[in-house]
Amino acid sequence: MRKLIPLFLLSSLFLAQPGRTDELHAIYTDLLQEHVDAEGLVDYQAILDSPQTLNAYLDRLSGISSEEYEAWNENQQLAFLLNLYNAATLKLIVAHYPLESIKDIGGWFNGPWDQEVVPYLGKIITLNHLEHDIIRKDFLDTPETHFALVCAAIGCPPLRREAYTAENLEAQLQDQKKLFLANTERNRKNAKRESLRLSPIFKWYAEDFEKSHGSVQEYLATAWPEVEKDWRIRYTFYDWSLNTQ
């Protein structure tokens, strides 16, 4: 008699197939296209009024087991983590809406990124834990994650109007990088003065860009070829106002 495969393994094998995890994120794309505009600004009131899609998506993600996750390839895992972070952030904002800034949530010792709001492989964790202890730790060679994680502030990279998917992840991350660097309020270069004015993201996470490319300047040279390693860096203002429409 043929040995039966346990149900959880069948589920893992199904979701590990190419495209299966991308189907998991389809309803999140529907949500983003309905409630996020071309500038990456969010209609939080509309999500608050009709939270069913966001809740259903997070419920789906909460049902992913560690066995399923470990069966995925790196693109599947990273797409899942990026979508989870951004969707959980939307949920956090909606739970406290209206507000002027994500930094209005929580207190001095228990800010917004320390709230246990993220359903992750059978546990509830914080946004800080997801970003710093999982994404940054496990995907050191992909600093573009900093252009994909959106902290619900105007100073953040724009929220993409589609879910990240394993199939398109590399192109999506490169496009996020291009969009973020093209915003001259956040990032700009001056070849004549050999200087850069950059988002504080490049200061806060400098070590990630240094680990992947040697220095922030060398990383930026992948997008701006004229940039040299000795160019001086200064930082632009980071606007913590809510990224609301």
Tens digit of pLDDT per residue, the chain (245 long)?
A: 333 434 444 444 445 454 578 999 999 999 999 999 999 999 999 999 999 999 999 999 999 999 999 999 999 999 999 999 999 999 999 999 999 999 999 988 899 999 999 999 999 999 999 999 999 999 999 999 999 999 999 999 999 999 999 999 999 999 999 999 999 999 999 999 999 999 999 999 999 999 999 999 999 999 999 999 999 999 999 999 999 99
Task: Name the domain count of the chain.
Answer: 2
Q: End of a domain among 99, 124, 139?
A: 139
Can you give the pLDDT at residue 13?
44
- The answer to whether residue 33 sits within a structural domain is yes
Identify whether 161 is part of a domain.
no
Q: Is 243 helix (H, G, I), strand (E, B) or coil?
A: coil
- Asked if 36 and 42 touch (Cβ cutoff 8 Å), the reply is yes
Residues 101 and 204 in one domain: no
Q: How far apart are alpha carbons 198 and 185 in whole angstroms?
A: 9
In a domain, residue 193? The reply is: yes
Separation between Cα atoms, residue 44 and residue 40, nearest integer Å:
12
Q: Within this chain, do residues 22 and 130 fall inside the same structural domain, yes or no?
A: yes
Cis peptide before 119 (omega within 30 of 0): no
Find tokens 């800010």 and name the residue: 111
Q: Identify whether residues 191 and 230 lie together within a single domain.
A: yes
The domain in which residue 41 lies consists of 7-139
Rounded Cα gap, residues 89 and 150, in angstroms: 8
Strands 195-198 and 232-235, by their bridges, are: parallel
Q: Looking at residue 98, what is its pLDDT?
A: 98
Query: In this structure, is residue 155 part of a structural domain?
Result: no
First to last CA, the chain: 61
For residue 98, whether the previous peptide bond is cis, meaning omega lies within 30 degrees of 0, is yes
The residues with which 3 forms a beta bridge, in sequence order, are none
Same domain, residue pair 214 and 101: no
The pLDDT of residue 5: 38
User: 146 and 201 in contact (C-beta within 8 Å)?
Assistant: yes
